[in-house]
Chain A
């Protein structure tokens, strides 16, 4: 079992709709959490950090549930440019990031 699990998708989303997906993590010592975005044949890029109180960045909302050990990402008013793979990432003590396998999102006109 992987340390960070994600539904691989794809999530097919009509343009303008809302999409949400989760990831679960098994390491209870995880201290920091992130969402990275990876476009096809490109490198991963930090989308946003995830804070215990939940946080928003424009159309993106991230939530953390430590008790159940899951993280969620919600995208409102989806744009075609939101089509990408979203990687859930955790960090325990030290500097090692642990990446999930990614959730693929396809926004269609």
Chain B
């Protein structure tokens, strides 16, 4: 049963520290999405990639967030420096043409910035 994996599952850090979250999309999927979920804002799209190329990162604070796909099996989301307002659950999802409408979510990284 193919799944999206994310590491770490939980991260507690102090304000100002760098945070790196990793995602392994389902093998063969060529689209990867990063979302952030909070109680107040719900699920928000931060960035997405197709065939490793960034297509849209308009939802991402550019000054501190960066997203990359070093290769087809790894997507990363970095926050530097982290702030308490970044505390949220960060989900990665992947999809595959022609069924890109269906996105498969990973279990999420629960980030707490103190």
Q: What residues make up the interface of A, taking CB atoms closer than 8 Å to B?
A: 2, 32, 34, 42-46, 49, 87, 91, 94-102
Task: Assess the B100–A43 pair: CB atoms within 8 A.
Answer: no
Task: Assess the A43–B95 pair: CB atoms within 8 A.
Answer: no
Tell me, in angstroms, the Cα distance from A2 to B43 when the chains sit together. Answer: 12
Q: List 19 A-B contacts (CB under 8 A).
A: A42-B107, A43-B91, A43-B106, A46-B103, A49-B101, A87-B43, A91-B101, A94-B56, A95-B31, A95-B33, A95-B100, A96-B48, A96-B56, A97-B103, A98-B45, A99-B42, A99-B43, A99-B44, A100-B42
- Closest beta carbon of chain B to A36's beta carbon, Å: 9
Task: Assess the A95–B48 pair: CB atoms within 8 A.
Answer: yes
On whether A101 and B42 interact (CB within 8 A), knowing A95-B48, A95-B50, the answer reads yes
On chain B, the number of residues with a Cβ less than 8 Å from chain A's Cβ atoms is 20
Contacts of A98 in B (CB 8 A): 45
The answer, among A2, A45, A100, for a CB contact under 8 Å with B105, is A45
Chain B at the A interface: mostly helix, strand, loop or mixed? strand
From A96, which residue of chain B is reached at the shortest CB distance? B45
Tell me, in angstroms, the Cα distance from A100 to B37 when the chains sit together. Answer: 11
Task: Assess the B107–A43 pair: CB atoms within 8 A.
Answer: yes
- Closest beta carbon of chain A to B108's beta carbon, Å: 6
